[in-house]
Amino acid sequence: MLDKIRFIINKRIGPRTLLKSLWVYSKGRSNSNHWSLNSFLINGNSIIHLEKNIKIVIRGHFSMGLNSNNFPPTKSPCALQMFEKSTLIINGIVDTASGVSIAITNNALLEIGDRVYINSCTKLICCNKIKIGNGSIISWDCEIRDSDLHKLDKEDFLISGPIDIGNDVWIGSGSKILKGVRIGSGAVIASGSVVTKDVPENCLVAGVPAIIKRKNVKWMR
């Protein structure tokens, strides 16, 4: 299940543990023709639930709850739930702060790109497919959910739909990204927004529901 991946759960993550994890290499070659680095570190206080036939692919480094510079600070544990036949793919370096919760239900796929940071107490609930592009930042207390989880008594009602978040997207604190939404690269989601429709590239959206406030925006990491 975790073949070729260094998987560490430790109540005390010290320098030796970290160093040990950083020197685990896969047997395959990366696109750049160098040995690829694969490690998966989880804070020992985290809640872990892994069912049968799951798939975890780490093409880089993934850590949950190990960042000591959380802002705002929290002691809440991280949580990772993967249900039967679910898939998690990490395509680079991904770090999360304390209190981040990730749930991937049966047959669902969560894919996260390179240089992605997820801040404290944010929730990712994947029941279909969620993809987060390279260089994106997700602030604290956000919720990204590709399903309503319950169905309305309506013939054309779709309970879930994939979410596609582009590269270099900034999602402000307290925002919610709901099912079937595509967010274009370079977009900015203002704090407290609820995104229910597609967001074009390099646009700032805000409000409930979120609407376009500015176009051709640029933000600095």
Q: Over the stretch 111-162, which tens digit does the pLDDT of each residue have? A: 999 999 999 999 999 999 999 999 999 999 999 999 988 877 776 667 889 9
**pLDDT for 22:** 37
Q: Is residue 84 part of a domain?
A: yes
* More confidently predicted of 154 and 56: 56
Q: Is residue 1 part of a domain?
A: no
Q: Is residue 219 part of a domain?
A: no
Report how far residue 61's alpha carbon sits from residue 6's, in angstroms, rounded to the nearest whole number: 10
Backbone angles phi, psi at 140, to 5 degrees: -80, 155
SS3 at position 111: strand
Q: Is residue 220 part of a domain?
A: no
| Six token digits for residue 59 | 């093409």
**pLDDT for 31:** 42
**pLDDT for 220:** 87
Task: Please give the share of the chain, as a percent, with pLDDT higher than 90.
Answer: 58
For residues 203 and 184, the answer to whether their CB atoms sit within 8 Å is yes
Q: Is residue 168 part of a domain?
A: yes
Report residue 56's pLDDT band, with 50, 70 and 90 as the boundaries.
confident
102 vs 41, 107, 139, CA distance in Å? 14, 15, 15
Task: Return mean pLDDT, the chain.
Answer: 83
Domain count, the chain: 1
**pLDDT for 67:** 67
pTM reported for the whole predicted model:
0.83
Q: Which domain holds residue 179?
A: 6-151+159-214
| Per-residue pLDDT tens over the stretch 164-209 | 999 999 999 999 999 999 999 999 999 999 999 999 999 999 999 9
**pLDDT for 52:** 84
CATH number at residue 124: 2.160.10.10
**pLDDT for 110:** 98
Q: Is residue 100 part of a domain?
A: yes
Terminal alpha carbon distance of the chain: 35
Q: Is residue 174 part of a domain?
A: yes
Weakest-pLDDT range from 13-27, 74-88, 92-106 = 13-27
Q: Is residue 111 part of a domain?
A: yes
